Amino acid sequence: MNFGMRNVRKVLIMAVVLTISICGFLCADHAFAAQLRTGVVATTSLNVRSGAGIEYKPTGFLALYDKVTILDETYDRNGSKWYHIKYKTTKTGYASADYITVESSNEYVYDEKFENKLDTEGFPETYKTYLRKIHANHPEWTFKAAHTGLSWNDVIEKESALGKSLVASGSPASWKSKAAGAYNAETGKYIVFDSGGWVCASRGIIKYYMDPRNFMNEVGIFQFLTHAYDGETQTAAGLRTLLSGTFMDSYLADEPSAAYTSVLMEAGARANVNPYVLASMILVEQGSSGRGKSISGSVSGYEGYYNYFNVGAYRSGSMDAVERGLWYASQDGSYSRPWNSIRKAIEGGAEFYSENYVQSSKNTLYFKKWNVMNGIAQVAQGQYMTNVQGAESEAAALRNGYASVLDTSMTFLIPVYDNLPSKAAALPADGEEEIIEPTEPEIPDTPDTPDKPEEEAANQAKIQKYKDGLAKTEVINLKAEAGRKKVKLTWKKSASGYAVDTYQIWRSVKKSSGYSKIFTSSNPKSCYYINTKGLSPNTSYWYKVRGVRTVCGKTLYTPFTKINVKTKR
């Protein structure tokens, strides 16, 4: 009897265990399947390996913006996270989690305040669908419209000039131009415009990379991240998070009491540059471990000199890029040189970047490549790079720098063009060659082709509304601080009145005449400008500042506010 009861108990226990095991297996499998996530590659090229770790053999590769399904996550022997992924429909492997952005899947819920903001900024309807999707996942982010005032076709025409926009020679045929001077029909070869085999880009690929809508996703949007300083959204806490685990998560080697965080925050505020961007630029230039020779302070002949941003670092004569950059750092001159301390190198490099880029309306990665905020004459002039993919590639790197602080406030400055097609420019298909067609002249407006009366009336009413509103909008609290050859201006916009797109700064030696425009901002939140050019010591200068806004193709202004300042002896 007892023996039988024991057997019954065993059978019951085994049945329960088996049931739990099966249920657990099925439930776990079901739960796992429900948690499958989609990721987007956030670097230009990413190896897929047979196991989790760089010691495993590469079995494939992924390109920027490729989508993957994340099957599982694991860690290598160094504690770095890797994803087990499925890609290209059937292939599987492992890829570093550092370079894959997990897509959020929140659905957009109508947000009246956000919709009003989009309208106030003047975003085209074709932008709004993309921005709503990003807003659903990142409600802390702010999107501002940068109205270029330029025709899309005019911009493409300028950027298609020989040598202005290049692609690698190994790119698909559809990416390469066969325009006169770009291609030798007799030899069947493309003409090289830069060392390394860079050739002229086709109009199709230029359109694709210039169309902002193609990059309104969680990685590409970082092309438009403003590089101007904003003390409200750029905090020391956020910067510490960004620097965590890097060589700048520490103190300056030559100033042990100073943390990189505080030095970068001070440099950013002083130069009016986003300290997060400064940090990301340094990490790109010197690596997360900080092993770049330019910041070692021990290069022979240049001991004790530092160049954190690699300013002026290019091969020249007998000097390699590092030596040329350190030679520049060692010279007496502008931007607090010589850079014979880490602090001076960071502050001076930030000042250089501010003056040559942020203050020249090239204050995003997009505007560094495509100079479209300084009038049609400046398009394709003074651009930081010729590579059409340059801004996209740097955006991926910058986004990786921000990976740990994506839930913080950020401001994105997105260009708006006149006459932009209703659909985003498509990536030219592989194997498809550029077709060169004669350009047809644009048909000018004539009395025979007027706008529809109702549209014209609506536009005029809107223009008048904003004109009246801007006339009541004031630039207030204008202040000036003078050095020997430097003047710093700060101001605010009155709380009443309308928002503006930009500010203009004009200067003269007389109060009532002789003014010349010296600067146009591209971020209306940056009410700050440092004038370092064209100034003499012990001289009186007049400055005047006004806000600018474009409405229905017409440029409108706030009244000027003036101030007088005298430089020091």
Tell which residue, 96, 364, 396, has the closest CA to residue 218: 396
- List the structure tokens of 297: 């302070």
Given a cut of 70, whether residue 15 has pLDDT beyond it is no
Q: Is the CB of residue 543 less than 8 Å from the CB of residue 562?
A: yes
Given a cut of 50, whether residue 24 has pLDDT beyond it is no
Which residues are bridge partners to 299 per DSSP?
none
φ/ψ of 37, rounded to 5, equals -120, 160
pLDDT tens profile 103-120: 766 788 899 999 999 999
The SS3 assignment for 338 reads coil
Alpha carbons 256 and 250: distance in angstroms, whole number: 9
CATH 2.30.30.40-classified regions of the chain? 37-102
The SS3 assignment for 449 reads coil
- List the structure tokens of 227: 């590089």
Given a cut of 80, whether residue 403 has pLDDT beyond it is no
pLDDT tens profile 215-247: 999 889 999 999 988 887 788 988 888 888 899
How far, CA to CA in Å, does 82 sit from each of 26, 54, 71, 75, 126?
A: 25, 10, 11, 6, 37
Placement of tokens 């009155």 in the chain: 494
Sign of CA dihedral 296, 300, 306, 309: negative
CA angle at residue 42 from 141 to 428, to 5 degrees?
A: 100
Tell which residue, 468, 491, 494, 487, has the closest CA to residue 479: 491
Given a cut of 60, whether residue 34 has pLDDT beyond it is no
φ/ψ of 208, rounded to 5, equals -60, -50
pLDDT tens profile 197-213: 889 999 999 999 999 99
Q: Bigger pLDDT: 511 or 308?
A: 308
- List the structure tokens of 50: 């047979």
- In words, the CATH class of domain 37-102 is mainly beta
Q: Bigger pLDDT: 413 or 399?
A: 413
Given a cut of 90, whether residue 178 has pLDDT beyond it is yes
**pLDDT in the model for residue 453:** 53
How far, CA to CA in Å, does 558 sit from each of 98, 413, 544?
A: 46, 21, 12
DSSP letters for 206-229 = HHHHH-GGGG-STTGGGGGB--B-
CATH 2.60.40.10-classified regions of the chain? 466-566
119 secondary structure, DSSP code: H
Residues 6+ apart with CB under 8 A from 514: 508
Q: Is the CB of residue 305 less than 8 Å from the CB of residue 338?
A: yes
Alpha carbons 206 and 160: distance in angstroms, whole number: 7
CA angle at residue 233 from 228 to 238, to 5 degrees?
A: 105
Alpha carbons 143 and 166: distance in angstroms, whole number: 29
**pLDDT in the model for residue 466:** 80
Placement of tokens 């590639």 in the chain: 393
| Mean of all residue pLDDT scores within the chain | 84
Tell which residue, 221, 234, 274, 268, has the closest CA to residue 405: 234
How far, CA to CA in Å, does 518 sit from each of 270, 500, 503, 531?
A: 20, 18, 11, 9
Residues 6+ apart with CB under 8 A from 311: 325, 328, 329, 335, 349, 352
Residues 6+ apart with CB under 8 A from 459: 451, 552
Length of the chain (residues): 569
**pLDDT in the model for residue 206:** 97
Report residue 544's pLDDT band, with 50, 70 and 90 as the boundaries. Answer: very high
Determine what percent of the chain is predicted with pLDDT higher than 90.
47
pLDDT tens profile 445-460: 333 334 445 556 667 7
pLDDT tens profile 122-167: 999 999 999 999 999 999 999 999 999 999 999 999 999 999 999 9
pTM strictly above 0.85: no
Question: Within a 10 A sphere around the Cβ of 538, how many other Cβ atoms?
Answer: 9
Alpha carbons 254 and 257: distance in angstroms, whole number: 9
Q: Tell me which of 272-276, 346-350, 460-464 is least confident.
A: 460-464
Given a cut of 80, whether residue 461 has pLDDT beyond it is no
Alpha carbons 208 and 424: distance in angstroms, whole number: 8
E strand or H helix at 151 = strand 141-151
What is the distance between the terminal CA atoms of the chain, rounded to a whole angstrom? 112
Q: Is the CB of residue 265 less than 8 Å from the CB of residue 233?
A: no
In a 13 Å sphere around the CA of 315, the CA atoms on its Cβ side amount to 3
Which amino acid, one-letter code, is at 30? H
Domain made up of 466-566: CATH architecture: Sandwich (2.60)
Alpha carbons 299 and 283: distance in angstroms, whole number: 20
User: What would the mean pLDDT of 486-497 be, rounded to a whole number?
Assistant: 81
Q: Is the CB of residue 273 less than 8 Å from the CB of residue 307?
A: no
Using CB atoms within 10 Å of the CB of residue 439, give its burial: 0 to 12 exposed, 13 to 18 middle, 19+ buried: exposed
How far, CA to CA in Å, does 73 sit from each of 83, 97, 399?
A: 4, 8, 21
Report residue 77's pLDDT band, with 50, 70 and 90 as the boundaries. Answer: confident
Alpha carbons 494 and 561: distance in angstroms, whole number: 12
Placement of tokens 């100033």 in the chain: 255
Residues 6+ apart with CB under 8 A from 66: 40, 41, 46, 87
**pLDDT in the model for residue 166:** 93
Q: Is the CB of residue 325 less than 8 Å from the CB of residue 313?
A: yes
Alpha carbons 320 and 70: distance in angstroms, whole number: 43
Alpha carbons 237 and 207: distance in angstroms, whole number: 39
Q: Bigger pLDDT: 441 or 119?
A: 119
